[in-house]
C-alpha cells in the first residue's frame, strides 16, 4: 500500500518460514534478518561469524529449522505487479543496497525518529507503536496507541531515494478512509492467494475427498499458542454454536444419522447421499495435534462425527502425497512439507460452503478472505 501511495518501488525481502522473531528496535531487527541469511549450501555460518561482535551472546538460529522464499513463489502477484513495482531484496545488508540499486548511506548514526542518511530517509521507531500512517489528512484524527502520525501526502514530498521503516507492525497502523484507496486495498487483499503448485494440488486433493468445493463446512480452530491456548474450550464452544446455527439455517437435522465409530470420509459421503445430503461434513483446519484423541474436541466430534482434518488425509495411503513429501526450497534445500501444511489446511477449509473461524485469529481472517474470493468472481 505504501509503495502504491507514493509511486515507489517496493524492496521486498524473502518470507521467513519457521519461527518468527518478535518486534525489536531497528538495530536488532536488522541483525535478525542478517543472521537468518544463508549461503548456497544452506548454512548461515558465514553471516553469524561476520556478526559475532554485534550478536554478543545471542545464539544464531538453526538453519535446518527455517527457510526463506520469495513471496511471489507462495502468493499470486499477478494483480499486484500490474499496480506496484516490486524488486526482491536479495540481501538485507546496506552493501547490497549500494551494489544492487545504487542506494548509499553517508554514515549518519541516527538514534531514533525520522532522519536522513545519504540516499535513505529512515523512520526508526523506538517503540512497536511508533507512527500511525493516514491516507488522508483529517484534522483532529486520533493517533490511538501510536506515538506520532504521518500522512501519505507528506510521504510523497520526501526526495530521498529510499524510505526505510524499522517496522510496519501494528493493528490499525494504516487506517484507510479514501474510498478509492479502500477499493484498491480490497482488490489487493483479494488478489493475494496461495499460488504454489504443490499447495494448490494438495489442497484440491483434500477438497475432492471431501466431496468437492461447497460440499462441506470449513472450520479453522486455533489452539496452540498464547491467548488461543488459554481459551481453547471457549473457542471450540463458540465454533460449535455457530456450526449449529449454520445447520439450522440450512434446515439440516441436529441429530446425525447412525454412523460407525470414527467413520471414514467415504462412509460419511455414502451416508450423506443416502440421507439426501442431510448430513453435515466438516473439514477442520487446526494447529492442534491429534484432535480426535483430545477431549477438548469431544463435543465437536460427538455432534459432528463426519469431521476430518488434514492429518486424516495425510495418513491415507490411497492418496499420493509424493510431490508434497519431495518439495524442497531451491534456495537452501530445506524440505517445505511442514511449512506448506498450514497453507494447504487454510486453502482446503476456504473451499467449504461456509467457513467458521476462531475469533481474533488473523489466520482465520485470511481463510475468510480466500473463501470470499472462491465464492465470488475475481473482479467482484
The Cα–Cα gap between 141 and 128 comes to 20
The pLDDT of residue 237 = 92
The pLDDT of residue 48 = 92
Task: Report mean pLDDT in 10-residue bins for the chain, 380 residues.
Answer: 97 95 91 93 92 88 96 96 96 94 92 93 92 86 89 96 93 93 95 96 96 95 85 90 89 72 92 81 94 92 94 89 96 96 97 94 93 74
The pLDDT of residue 141 = 74
Starting from the edge strand earliest in sequence, which strands make up the sheet with 217-221, in order?
Answer: 307-308, 282-286, 217-221, 354-356
CA angle, corner 259, sides to 255 and 264, nearest 5? 120
Query: Which domains can be identified in the chain, with CATH numbers?
Result: 1-68+89-175 (no CATH), 197-375 (3.40.50)
Q: What is the DSSP letter of 302?
A: H
Phi, psi angles (nearest 5°) of residue 236: -65, -35
Contact at 8 Å (CB) between 225 and 286?
A: no
Amino acid at each position: 500500500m505504501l509503495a502504491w501511495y507514493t509511486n515507489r518501488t517496493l524492496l521486498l525481502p524473502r518470507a521467513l518460514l519457521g519461527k518468527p522473531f518478535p518486534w525489536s528496535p531497528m538495530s536488532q531487527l536488522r541483525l535478525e534478518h542478517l543472521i537468518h541469511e544463508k549461503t548456497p549450501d544452506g548454512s548461515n555460518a558465514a553471516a553469524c561469524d561476520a556478526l559475532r561482535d554485534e550478536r554478543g551472546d545471542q545464539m544464531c538460529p538453526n538453519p535446518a529449522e527455517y527457510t526463506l522464499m520469495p513471496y511471489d513463489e507462495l502468493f499470486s502477484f499477478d494483480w499486484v505487479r500490474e499496480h506496484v513495482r516490486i524488486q526482491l531484496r536479495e540481501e538485507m545488508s546496506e552493501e547490497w543496497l549500494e551494489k544492487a540499486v545504487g542506494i548509499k548511506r553517508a554514515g549518519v548514526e541516527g538514534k531514533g525518529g525520522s532522519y536522513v542518511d545519504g540516499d535513505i530517509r529512515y523512520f526508526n521507531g523506538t517503540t512497536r507503536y511508533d507512527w500511525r500512517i493516514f491516507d488522508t489528512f483529517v484534522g483532529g484524527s486520533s493517533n490511538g496507541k501510536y506515538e506520532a502520525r504521518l500522512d501519505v501526502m507528506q510521504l510523497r514530498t520526501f526526495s530521498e531515494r529510499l524510505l526505510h521503516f524499522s517496522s510496519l507492525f501494528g493493528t490499525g497502523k494504516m487506517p484507510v478512509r479514501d474510498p478509492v484507496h479502500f477499493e484498491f486495498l480490497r482488490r489487493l487483499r483479494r488478489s493475494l492467494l496461495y499460488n504454489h503448485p504443490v499447495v494448490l494440488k494438495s489442497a484440491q486433493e483434500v477438497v475432492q475427498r471431501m466431496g468437492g468445493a461447497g460440499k462441506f463446512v470449513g472450520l479453522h480452530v486455533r489452539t496452540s499458542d498464547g491467548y488461543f491456548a488459554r481459551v481453547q474450550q471457549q473457542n471450540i464452544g463458540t465454533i460449535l454454536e455457530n456450526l449449529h446455527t449454520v445447520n439450522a439455517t440450512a434446515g439440516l437435522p441436529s441429530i446425525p444419522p447412525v454412523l460407525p465409530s470414527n467413520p471414514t470420509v467415504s462412509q460419511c459421503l455414502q451416508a450423506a447421499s443416502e440421507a439426501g445430503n442431510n448430513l453435515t461434513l466438516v473439514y477442520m483446519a487446526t494447529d492442534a495435534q491429534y484432535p480426535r484423541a483430545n477431549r477438548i474436541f469431544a463435543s465437536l466430534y460427538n455432534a459432528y462425527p463426519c469431521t476430518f482434518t488434514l492429518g486424516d488425509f495425510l495418513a491415507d495411503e490411497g492418496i499420493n502425497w509424493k510431490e508434497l513429501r519431495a518439495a524442497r526450497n531451491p534456495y537452501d534445500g530445506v524440505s517445505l512439507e511442514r511449512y506448506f501444511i498450514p497453507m494447504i489446511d487454510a486453502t482446503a477449509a476456504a473451499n467449504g460452503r461456509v467457513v467458521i473461524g476462531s475469533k481474533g485469529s488473523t489466520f482465520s481472517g485470511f481463510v475468510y478472505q480466500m473463501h470470499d474470493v472462491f465464492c465470488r468472481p475475481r473482479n467482484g
